[in-house]
Each structure stands twice: as structure tokens, then as C-alpha cells.
Amino acid sequence: MLRRVAVLGLAGIPAALAADRLVALARGGRAPEPMRMLVVVDAPVETVWAAVTDVPFQVEWMAEMRGLTLDPPGRAHVGQRGEATVRILGVSVTDPVEIVALDPPRRYEIRHRGLFRGGGVLSLEPGADGTTTILRWDETLVPPILPQLGALVQAPILRAIFQADLERLKRLVEDGAVD
């Protein structure tokens, strides 16, 4: 029985590689599409900006983040690097990131520099009356194995996780949990 499972597993490798190549061809060699999430927070842009750029506070609203170190510590700034311990679907990885752009209070961008490559952009804009904030999160995570197929398969799962993170951030900001 074990031999049969091993043979089936080995037979699946060429199929997975071929599927990854077909997805890459269909995408014209472009990187995987970012996952797009959005939430409207009942707070002004400056308040939401303070929450998303308080990097240690991310552990409070990103349920999958288990720990975080920053170099150097302190408020978010371009060039700042960090390492997060992230656990998704029971798998823990260290995710080294770098802040590559800040445009207060509108845009915060990071690059993933570890096993999973890609980046994330948090974009903020005031709602119609200025008392709310439209917060968009675009995230691209490219797995190290079967990058095109893997990104396609993981996207719905990660999108749901990240959307729940945004909902948690919304609640924390609206409840006044941010300085």
C-alpha cells in the first residue's frame, strides 16, 4: 500500500509542474495577481494610519502573526526591516519584510524577503464625509514551489484570512484600542 501511495505521489510531480507552467503561460509570464481586500473603518484617515503604521500593533489584528521583531525598533519608516513569525493552516514560517514606501497618511508598502516573495500595500482614503476611512490591502505572496499554481490555489484561503484581519483591525480602531 505504501509503495502505491509513493508511486502516485511521484506521478503527481510532473503533473503539478506542468500545471504550474500552464498557469504561467496563461498569465503571459506576469507575476500572480494580488489578493485584494477592503474595509471601511468608522474613523478618520489619521487614526487608521496610526494603527496600520504601528508595526508592533499588527500582532493584535493579524491573527496569523505570532511574534515580531523590528530593526530598528519604533515607528514605521522606509528601510525598516522586521521578522514576523507567521502561522497559517498549521504551518509556521519566519517572514522577513522591509518597509519600502510610506506616503503618510495614504500608502504603506512592504516587501516580503523570505521563503514567500511578494509584497503588500495598504492604501487609505477618506470616506465621503471625512469621518470614515476606506482601507484597501493588496497582497502578493508567491510560494517557493510551484509559484504560479501555488499562488492561485492559496489565494482564496489567504484572502479570507487577510479580510478577517482587516475586520479585526476595524473593530479595534472603532473601539479605541489604538493610541
List, run by run, the mean pLDDT of 10-residue segments along the chain (179 residues). Answer: 55 59 66 92 97 92 89 86 86 91 96 93 95 97 84 91 97 88
pTM for this entry: 0.85
Q: Identify the CATH class of 33-174.
A: alpha beta
pLDDT of residue 21: 61
DSSP state, residue 57: G
Element (H, E) at 43: none
Q: How far apart are CA 138 and CA 167, in angstroms?
A: 15
Q: Note the pLDDT of residue 89.
A: 73
Pairwise CA distance, residues 34 & 16, whole Å = 22
Q: List the chain domain ranges.
A: 1-30, 33-174
* Enclosing H/E stretch for 107: strand 107-113
